Structure formats: structure tokens, C-alpha cells
């Protein structure tokens, strides 16, 4: 079944031509200008983290790659942090591969994440940096193979963690 066309877009499955292109709109827009995909990007972290008031802003962009989703993530924390401390915390997180500033390259790309099966099962985080003007603001580049790491796997990992810690009834 074809996806609905973006408003005002020419014909085609994805609304706009994809080769050598990026399309900053996935699906139909609502009255506020947000698309269904952007609404999901706002709703899901709130739901997963149990933080209904979490401030999230997103622009969904269709990128013509075969596998993987990528996100530019910007966080504002309660306390000041250093890039080195964020790299350390992320590097110690199970199921995640952190790319440090000293790595070459210092960021993941769909093509390289997809290349090795052992990498496909991880969430990859790079371009880790604390903003020079605000030591509570962290920027990250995140890539994951959405066929291997997605909502179903995340749900399973959350249930495993909850069971391990005795959080379930």
C-alpha cells in the first residue's frame, strides 16, 4: 500500500524524487505543520521514559539509504558535563557503540553500520560534543539499523531489565 503523499508534492511513492536528494517531510502534515513521523518522534521518548512533559522537537527527513535510521539529537541536561564524561557514559552503555572524538571516523554512517552483522544489532552514537556556549547542552549523531534495532527489540530489552531488577509485579 502506498504511503499518502505529502501536501503539495508531485506524484510518486515518497512525494518527491529520492535519488541524490533529501526530503524534509515524511507523510502528511497536520494543522500545526508536523508530520505523522515527527509526532512519533515527539511521543515515543516521552512514553518510553515516562516523562509526558519532556520537551522534544523533531524534523523527519527521508534519506535514500537502504537500511538504518539516523538522528541528530540535542539534549539539555540539568548539570554541566564534559564531552569526555558523555563519551565515557555512552561507551559503558550495553547495546550501544560510542564513537569518540579520537576515533576515525568519529561518527557512524548507515553504510558502515550495515556492513557487519555484529554492528547491526547496536545503536551507534558519534559526533558527541558539548556545546561551547552551554555546558549543559549535548549534541549527538545516532544511527541504528531499524530492521535489527527498533521498537520490538527495545521493548524486549526493557522487559528483561524490569524482570532482572524485580520491577514487575
Query: What tens digit of pLDDT does each residue of 103-150 get?
Result: 999 999 999 888 888 888 899 999 999 999 999 999 999 998 888 876
The CATH 3.30.360.10 domain(s) of the chain lie at 66-164
CA 119/CA 33 separation, integer angstroms: 36
Nine cell digits for residue 168: 514487575
Query: What's the predicted TM-score (pTM) here?
Result: 0.75
CA 91/CA 84 separation, integer angstroms: 10
What's the number of CA atoms in the CB half-sphere (13 Å) around residue 77? Answer: 17
Q: What's residue 4's pLDDT?
A: 45
Fold of the domain built from segment(s) 66-164: Dihydrodipicolinate Reductase; domain 2 (3.30.360)
Q: What's residue 124's pLDDT?
A: 92
**Closest-CA residue to 143 (of 103, 101, 81, 98):** 98
Residue 60 near residue 36, CB atoms below 8 Å:
no
Q: Which residues of the chain have pLDDT under 50?
A: 1-6
Q: What's residue 37's pLDDT?
A: 87
Amino acid at each position: 500500500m502506498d504511503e499518502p503523499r505529502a501536501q503539495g508534492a508531485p506524484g510518486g511513492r515518497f512525494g518527491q524524487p529520492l535519488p541524490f536528494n533529501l526530503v524534509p517531510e515524511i507523510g502528511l502534515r497536520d494543522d500545526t505543520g508536523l508530520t505523522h513521523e515527527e509526532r512519533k518522534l515527539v511521543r515515543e521518548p516521552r512514553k518510553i521514559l515516562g516523562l509526558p512533559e519532556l520537551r522534544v522537537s523533531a524534523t523527519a527527513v527521508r534519506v535514500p539509504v537502504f537500511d538504518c535510521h539516523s538522528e541528530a539529537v540535542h539534549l539539555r541536561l540539568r548539570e554541566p558535563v564534559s564531552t569526555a564524561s558523555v563519551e565515557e557514559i555512552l561507551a559503558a552503555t550495553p547495546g550501544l557503540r560510542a564513537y569518540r572524538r579520537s576515533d576515525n571516523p568519529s561518527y557512524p554512517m548507515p553504510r558502515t553500520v550495515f556492513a557487519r552483522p555484529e554492528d547491526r544489532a547496536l545503536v551507534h552514537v558519534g559526533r558527541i560534543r558539548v556545546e561551547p556556549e552551554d555546558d549543559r547542552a549535548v549534541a549527538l549523531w545516532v544511527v541504528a539499523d531499524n530492521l535489527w534495532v527498533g521498537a520490538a527489540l527495545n521493548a524486549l530489552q526493557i522487559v528483561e531489565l524490569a524482570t532482572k531488577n524485580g520491577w514487575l509485579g
